[in-house]
Amino acid sequence: MQSVQKFCKIGALFALVFLSLQCQNKENMASADTIIHHVQIWSDTLQDADWIAIRDGKIEALGKGDYHQFQGPETALLDGQGAFVTPGFIDAHVHFLMGGANLLSVQLRDAGTRAEFIERIAGFAGSQKPGAWITGGDWNHELWGGALPERSWIDSVTPDNPVFLNRLDGHMALANTKALELAGLLDAPLPVIDGGEVVIGPDGKPTGIFKDNAMGLIDQNIQSNPEEVDRALDTACQYVLSNGVTMVHHMGTWDDYAVFRRNRDRGDLSVRIYSVTPLAAWERLRDTIAAHGTGDDHLWIGGLKGFVDGSLGSHTAAFFEPFSDKPDDTGLLVNSEADLEDWISHADQAGLHVIVHAIGDRANAILLDIYHRLDAKNGARDRRFRIEHAQHLNDSLVQKIVSTGTIASMQPYHAIDDGCWAEKVIGPERIKMTYAFRSLLDAGAHVAFGSDWFVAPPDVLAGIYAAATRRTLDGQNPDGWVPEQKITVEQALRAYTSGGAYACKMEDRVGRLEPGYLADLVVMDRNLLTIAPESIRETRIMRTMVDGKWEWIRTED
């Protein structure tokens, strides 16, 4: 009898221990910081879920139906009311600080006439302190017929401020006379600039237009204080977050990286940043990584940005055949082929990530040939070389992109902008392979999407709309400009999420909604996959989460 009682006591003890462990397990499972439910979830690898649980900055679980095993007393519940949830958008090509600074400067992107261009500059200059530089602008001379602006247009309205206002593609800019005087360029002989041009007027003096490498003659004189730069960064972060962007690939300088690092160290960096530095300074990147590492999931380095050519709008993109509207001009090379191959080869030997701008078909061919030769020279490996823009291709170049494993890092918004005027510049045949999204994806290429902000707005919804409809901004192509190159909304979503993650070698932790991935996501008021592509731009971003925290919440209706 005693043994039976003893056995019962032991059994009861085991039962209590078992129940206690069950309660502990339930507590552990029900410890999500946030649960978002009653939503439609899309991810590259999961599409049949209506709730997502987040803990410690990472995705804990996703599912359909009951989520209560992950709910604890401190869990924040959000009823999404049928909202659409995707991974946070990744903008694979931005000029982040300039984008933020330009938001704070004069807005010229939609100035449609010479008079309006001058009037806006005059109004902004009137609010500035004497001596302060006026930069940014993002003007587009195509909107007033194609005549390039001149310093004589704006000198009378900017007598107290040096001005250097860029065209929206960033490949040429307008300086006023005061800026030329400060740079010592008004009466002095001008240096010869490889890969750039100073436009000279009938009087033998600069008109104020500087193209590509020549822009450095003015840029080197522009000074910004840390407070202004930090304000530009905060403005940029809030702006992209309002567009659902949680990560950017920033194409910039070592000074930019120092700004990001300063803000990261004091906890003021709300967007993940892959900070890409200049290709020509590959040794500095190699040595910095050897001494300090690449960084963390909020801010990291490892990529190098170079240039082959300029832009289509500035007639500095490098083509095999002349421009249709300039039969004696085939564009220019910003850097020589020999320099590019030297920098890229050494950077590759150092294990660095090579990212190079190429617009024209000749520029793309030069770059792809360099990439192809490195497999034989440095040995085959997973390089993930990138072509930024890959704008004007042909069938053989598409195949080379695939065979070299090169990532085509493209900007869909450019297609609906350039489509308003590109045919007059390169003719009806070459436009057939301009922004060739469909040709690249059908061939099996890796594609990542971005904005090139400040050049175009970092509005991912507008980018998806552009990729899926190719309706130009002037309304002249309701069925799409070069409609054969349209892609599906889902393909565009992948390019803005998992495609961007792959393009910076972070596909194991961002770009998807999966357990263990970083909790970066965006909440929208409608399902992009069930509405007509033409209405995508009516969608509203409701919330943006980075690292499990709501970094942006819509407050207005």
Alpha helix stretches (DSSP H) within 136-269 = 151-154, 177-182, 216-219, 226-241, 254-265
Is residue 353 scored above 70 in pLDDT?
Answer: yes
Domain with CATH 2.30.40.10 in the chain: 2-88
> Which of these CATH numbers, 3.50.50.60, 3.10.310.70, 3.90.1170.50, 3.30.565.10, describes 97-219?
3.10.310.70
* Token couple for 78: 């959000």
Residues 83, 523 contacting (CB under 8 angstroms): yes
Residue % of the chain over a pLDDT of 90:
84
Is residue 25 scored above 50 in pLDDT?
Answer: no
- What b/e sequence results for 70-88 when a residue is b if at least 16 CB atoms lie within 10 Å of its CB, and e otherwise? bbbeebeebebeebbbbbb
Residues 466, 411 contacting (CB under 8 angstroms): no
CA 367 to chain centre: 21
For position 29, what pLDDT does the model report? 54
- Specify burial of residue 531 (Cβ count, 10 A radius: 0-12, 13-18, 19+): middle
For 284-332, how does the pLDDT look when each residue is reduced to its tens digit (9 = 90+)? 999 999 999 999 999 999 999 999 999 999 899 999 999 999 999 999 9
For position 7, what pLDDT does the model report? 45
* Cβ atoms within 10 Å, residue 514: 17
For position 318, what pLDDT does the model report? 98
Phi, psi (rounded to 5 degrees) for 449: -110, 150
Domain with CATH 3.10.310.70 in the chain: 97-219
Topology classification of domain 2-88: Urease, subunit C; domain 1 (2.30.40)
Q: Any idea what the Cα angle at residue 129 is, between residues 127 and 132, rounded to 5°?
A: 110
Is residue 31 scored above 90 in pLDDT?
Answer: no
Is residue 438 scored above 50 in pLDDT?
Answer: yes
For position 497, what pLDDT does the model report? 98
Of 25, 89, 33, the residue nearest 61 (C-alpha) = 33
- Specify burial of residue 3 (Cβ count, 10 A radius: 0-12, 13-18, 19+): exposed
For position 27, what pLDDT does the model report? 45
For 140-180, how does the pLDDT look when each residue is reduced to its tens digit (9 = 90+)? 999 999 999 999 999 999 999 999 999 988 889 999 999 99
Question: Cα–Cα distance between 75 and 472 in angstroms, integer?
Answer: 46
Phi, psi (rounded to 5 degrees) for 211: -115, 140
Mean per-residue pLDDT, 347-371: 98
Mean per-residue pLDDT, 441-455: 97
Q: Any idea what the Cα angle at residue 66 is, between residues 64 and 71, rounded to 5°?
A: 120
Q: Which amino acid is at 394?
A: N
Is residue 272 scored above 60 in pLDDT?
Answer: yes
Is residue 399 scored above 80 in pLDDT?
Answer: yes
For position 20, what pLDDT does the model report? 46
Average pLDDT, the chain: 93
Residue count of the chain, please give it. 557
Of 245, 240, 244, 277, the residue nearest 260 (C-alpha) = 277
SS3 392: strand
Residues 173, 165 contacting (CB under 8 angstroms): yes
Is residue 23 scored above 60 in pLDDT?
Answer: no
Is residue 19 scored above 50 in pLDDT?
Answer: no
**DSSP code per residue over 188-224:** SPPPP-TTEEEEE-TTSSEEEEEEEGGGHHHHTT---
Residues 149, 208 contacting (CB under 8 angstroms): yes
Q: What is the Rg, in whole angstroms, of the alpha carbon atoms belonging to the chain?
A: 26
For position 46, what pLDDT does the model report? 72
* Cβ atoms within 10 Å, residue 380: 9
For 338-352, how does the pLDDT look when each residue is reduced to its tens digit (9 = 90+)? 999 999 999 999 999
